[in-house]
Structure 1
């Protein structure tokens, strides 16, 4: 399966011993745009089936000598998550409902509406493609090495960022890294340092927005003992400490104007003086500056300092523009958290996967990481539930709220989960409490990744 991608063409393996029914069903599916392989008996299908094939199975139940249920169990032995759609007569409905519990994807009762068939098949194919995506994510994460271990992503934009890091690292020039909050600007700065000839020297990070204005000069330049009230002993500043290595100035747009002038002079002359001293200290600095917005357009940022720093630029994309990297990074952070506790990362349900891709991630990778940690450490939770909790607490300035469809599905999931918990895993009691048919409950539990065993006493 790991050699397939989410774009792999999924074939429908259609099994029915009634030639007319099979031929008619296959024709409808082909007219609907699907590739179909027909089988007249289960033995032939089993001989050709193996785990990981790009297919789903649509099978009648009543056949001989191998019936649909036997076929399902044999296929699921080889691949437990294979989507299998069963077709049943009215008298086999109870049997088919039980088959859902045993791993069937869904069932259709004869005579079925052809449009219902295509809708169900499309859902099964979507699930199959999601399985390939998750399998490839796990393979990719397991084979990470070098710079890819730090700057993770398969999106074209992140491949370009890694290429820029490798190129700029050996040039020993100043670099400006642009990106919104949480995009990983410090991670890129550290990668530039680690890939450069300066890697054995200090990497010194300063958040310019976090330093009070009256302490800025002392923080950067250091001071001599007695230079001002409270300066009881000599202190080496960040600029001097970073000499020979890399100085990372995060949110440099927040640097006070007087300090911008002093920093420019240091970068021009490669020397500084501690506060209270007349002695000149030679330094060798590489500066990586980070900003959310274009420094050249900011009125409070000196243009001469901008031109001094603006030798190379790296632009980090917002997470919402990185497509398939979203579930990839989610699994990466979730697996790390689960492994730290000695557990396993639970695969995403279809609704969780949908939520990840629909949400706007205003907090970018930092927000995604926090959600992944919660997901990995809290049993019986969901991505939508965690995100809804974050928004309720107003932890993040949410630019992209959860879509209504996701909120509705999460509400439904929470009701079903609460009932299962209340009834301590007794499905019969849950059916009565929620007034749902058994088939509907099974389908929704499968959709939301709810497992009865997790709620048994």
Structure 2
């Protein structure tokens, strides 16, 4: 938007920007520009300071109230330098002193539009995160088909009374999926008890799970309620089930079949009303065939198996997930970090993420807490990761970036094709071709669909 009461300046600035490939919108007064400005305006606002009625400074103050992220460039005369300095203090993006060259104008606009693009991108990511939050418990953040399918399956499973086996790599989010199933179920008001079978010493795991009576063994000075009994009415989550000793697997099988438990040192069975969710990072069927895991327990657990996709299979979700983890870290620490720039997004997409979502969360926390020490450069923060970043081929990077831009436009305009075409500057047929290429469906971005998504 170009705002100036002098027609010749509006024409000159407009022609310069048109030659540079931009689409200037001229206005002869500030109020007219405000009336035509919406919150999702994706460009830069250029205004003269000295104008009748609402001047440039008053316009700046109004815009700062409406949208503090909007880049505002003020045009000043020679005698307005002190005013320009004041404007910069009040939040102007930049100023141009008359007479200015076309190159100066185009460079200021280019930088301003890039800033605006990043601001809107982070705004949309934040809005989508908020849309995905729910009082029903933890959300499975993402918009790729694999994560939407996972969310749908978790929602369905939560409504039926069956034990579940989760399969996924380290850090893929098995704990989060288990909690999501519990929080959406009729058991949500009762305990969710998580047990890492690989972290509990073999000598105490039986007592931890089943409990014991006073005097059951040396050191048992009082009765202890086990994890299974403590979870009455709720859910027991057995993480790293493959680490459970074979001798204990027999007793676990009996608990799953009979829904009863006996404390160590007791002959009285206690009835259980629980759901069991087990998680593993290995192929339990293969382990049962080699004798490393009991075959009967595997088939008892394998009533419903839910695979958790690794992060490398949902690359387009990475910026959204990073934003989510960074927001959580910022809220917890009381600190803030700048939004990601294009280079940081590229670094995220190029990494192979062997630690999956856990590795991404750790990086987001370092970005918030330590980013200032390296100018918030993700490539430098990622140098301390457990593995080296891989380089995606250029066509794949371009494809991912294109899909991300189209997805953001669909989110912004709630799937309205005409508005998306206008924002992206592509014909309708071209957009439909790209939607088919990237498997993007406009209906999935409309408000009623988003509200009903599990």
Q: Which TM class, normalised by the smaller chain length?
A: 0.5 to 0.7
Aligned residue runs from structure 1 range 64-79, under 5 A: 64-65=51-52, 68=56, 71-76=59-64, 78-79=66-67
Mean Cα deviation higher: 248-257 or 94-103:
94-103
Give unpaired runs (5+ residues) of structure 2.
391-454
Q: How many residues align structurally? A: 377
**Measured at CA, do residues 379 and 205 of structure 1 come closer, stay the same or move farther in structure 2, by a change above 3 Å?**
closer
Shift of 1:74: 4.8
Alignment equivalent of 2:35, drawn from 21, 33, 48: 48
Render the CA deviation track for 1:387-421: whole Å, top value 9, x for unaligned: 967976xxx635659xxxxxxxxxxxxxxxxxxxx
TM-score if structure 1 supplies the norm length?
0.63
> In 2, distance between residues paired with 1:224 and 1:139?
48
Question: Do residues 304 (structure 1) and 296 (structure 2) align?
Answer: yes
**Measured at CA, do residues 307 and 335 of structure 1 come closer, stay the same or move farther in structure 2, by a change above 3 Å?**
same
Match of residue 261 from structure 1: 250
Q: Give the SS at the match of 1:150.
A: coil
Shift of 1:194: 3.7
Match of residue 111 from structure 1: 101
Question: Do residues 38 (structure 1) and 29 (structure 2) align?
Answer: no
Q: Is the 8 A contact 1:225 1:234 kept in 2?
A: yes
Q: Give the SS at the match of 2:25.
A: strand
Q: Give the SS at the match of 2:198.
A: helix
**Measured at CA, do residues 134 and 167 of structure 1 come closer, stay the same or move farther in structure 2, by a change above 3 Å?**
closer
Question: Do residues 59 (structure 1) and 46 (structure 2) align?
Answer: yes
Aligned residue runs from structure 1 range 18-417, under 5 A: 22-23=10-11, 25-26=13-14, 29-30=17-18, 34-39=22-27, 41-43=28-30, 45-46=32-33, 48=35, 52=39, 54-59=41-46, 61=48, 64-65=51-52, 68=56, 71-76=59-64, 78-86=66-74, 99-107=87-95, 110-113=100-103, 116=107, 119-130=110-121, 132-133=123-124, 136=127, 140=131, 144-147=133-136, 149-151=137-139, 153=141, 155-156=143-144, 158-223=147-212, 227-231=216-220, 235-242=224-231, 244-275=233-264, 282-298=271-287, 300-317=292-309, 321=315, 322=317, 323-335=319-331, 337-338=333-334, 346=336, 348-350=337-339, 355=344, 358-359=347-348, 384=376, 397=386, 400=389
TM-score if structure 2 supplies the norm length?
0.64
Q: Is the 8 A contact 1:183 1:317 kept in 2?
A: yes
Shift of 1:198: 3.7
Q: Give the SS at the match of 2:205.
A: helix
Q: Is the 8 A contact 2:322 2:361 kept in 1?
A: no
> In 1, distance between residues paired with 2:118 and 2:267?
70
Q: What is the root-mean-square deviation in Å for CA atoms of aligned residues?
A: 4.6
**Measured at CA, do residues 38 and 292 of structure 1 come closer, stay the same or move farther in structure 2, by a change above 3 Å?**
farther
> In 1, distance between residues paired with 2:120 and 2:188?
42
Give unpaired runs (5+ residues) of structure 1.
1-12, 339-344, 402-457
Mean Cα deviation higher: 197-206 or 18-27:
18-27
